[in-house]
Amino acid sequence: MEEIKKFEHYKFLADKGQNPLRVDKYLQNFVEFATRSKIQQAVEAGNVRVNGIVVKSNYKVKGNDVVTVVYDFPQIKNALLPQDIPLNIVYEDDAFLIVNKDAGMVVHPGFGNYDGTLVNALAFHFQNLPNMGDEDRPGLVHRIDKNTSGLLVIAKTERSMTILAKKFEDRDLNRKYIALVWGDVKEEEGTIRGNIGRSLKNRKIMNVFPDGEYGKHAVSHYKVLERFGYTTLLECKLETGRTHQIRAHFKHIGHTLFNDNEYGGDKVLKGTTFTKYKQFVHNCFKICDRQALHAKSLGFTHPATKKDVFFDSELAEDMQKLIEKWRKYATHQQL
């Protein structure tokens, strides 16, 4: 029986010095937005090959192996599926709209997430959004991570997209995040500088390279809002807009975001060894089951009216509950 033609979606050449690593874990390290379950589904469906041969999850990738992910359908532009997914629109006019994205929603399609994304919702609710040459990302001026909640601006015209994209590129805007990080941050306010580039060992995360020989220039400013002893609530303002900038920068200075599973924040990093405390932290993980990061506010000059506009949002409910739990804990410890 003739095999159905498969179309290559991803291709990786393992480094010469690659230590043997299960193919599912290998792909999880190298494909952005690829969850373990999605990868295992692809493997079980026979869509993962090494050196042209279909493999199982326990295959160990070795140096110079060629790992490919193939599907029955090609990667076609203009194949974006419009889906009737509700959007939390906090503002809209003829030039742009502001969306308050829930944590857990992927912004645009990627590995194993070809539907259910913000872009799929935009394609349903709006017609002829500009795309700046990328037809899979209509209206997108910028993005935030899947498990980060908060404000996103969506352009509705080519002119608005050009102007807004330039503002984001030049950081000609006022954009603030709220983050809960591990540890008692020493200074009341400060600045983190260090080039950010994709990790050479795990392509799903970013590393900080202080010497500047690799990665892109990145600057993050912060100030302390509240201290809870073993964690600190911060306001962050970005001078640059690199992928995972806040997550990578705070990991670099020893204050990983709370419950950030990709950067190691989903473990008890600070505090006591008491069982009761550990249970408290794990209960916090359940309340906010993602990195504690929210894109709270966004301000810029309106691309049409030239007037300054500012948009603010309440913290996502899970973060509100998490902060309140830590606040009560810290108050109890001080009694």
Same domain, 104 and 22: no
Does residue 3 sit in helix, strand or coil?
A: coil
d(CA 248, CA 148): 14
pTM recorded for the entire structure: 0.79
Q: What is the SS3 string spanning 201-225? A: CCCCCEEEECCCCCCECCEEEEEEE
Kindly tell me the burial class for residue 330, based on how many C-beta atoms sit within 10 Å of its own C-beta (0-12, 13-18, 19 or more): middle
The enclosing domain of 66 has a CATH number of: 3.10.290.10
Q: Is 93 a catalytic residue?
A: no
* Buried-state track 81-101, b at ≥16 Cβ within 10 A, e below 16: eeeebebeeeeeeebbbbbbb
pLDDT for the residue 78: 46
pLDDT for the residue 2: 44
Whether residue 325 lies inside any domain: the answer is yes
Domain boundary (170, 203, 220) is at: 170
Domain boundary (109, 141, 170) is at: 170
Same domain, 297 and 193: yes
Same domain, 212 and 314: yes
Residues in the chain: 335
Same domain, 207 and 302: yes
Domain boundary (170, 195, 230) is at: 170
Each of the 335 residues of the chain gets a pLDDT tens digit; together they read 345 567 777 888 888 878 898 998 888 877 766 777 888 888 998 999 999 999 998 999 998 899 998 887 666 444 578 899 999 999 999 999 999 999 999 887 766 666 788 999 998 999 888 876 666 778 899 989 999 999 999 999 999 999 998 998 888 889 999 999 999 999 999 999 999 998 877 878 999 997 767 888 999 999 999 999 999 999 999 988 889 999 999 999 999 999 999 999 999 999 999 999 999 999 999 999 999 999 999 999 999 999 999 999 999 999 999 999 999 999 987 64
Q: What spatial distance separates the first Cα and last Cα of the chain, rounded to whole Å?
A: 75
For 22-33, give the DSSP string: EHHHHHHHHSTT
* Number of domains within the chain: 3
d(CA 275, CA 174): 43
Whether residue 78 lies inside any domain: the answer is no
Q: Exactly one of 145, 260, 266, 318 is catalytic; which is it?
A: 145
The enclosing domain of 140 has a CATH number of: 3.30.2350.10
Element (H, E) at 99: strand 96-101
Same domain, 242 and 284: yes
Task: For residue 181, give its domain range.
Answer: 174-334
Label the pairing between strands 149-155 and 293-301.
parallel
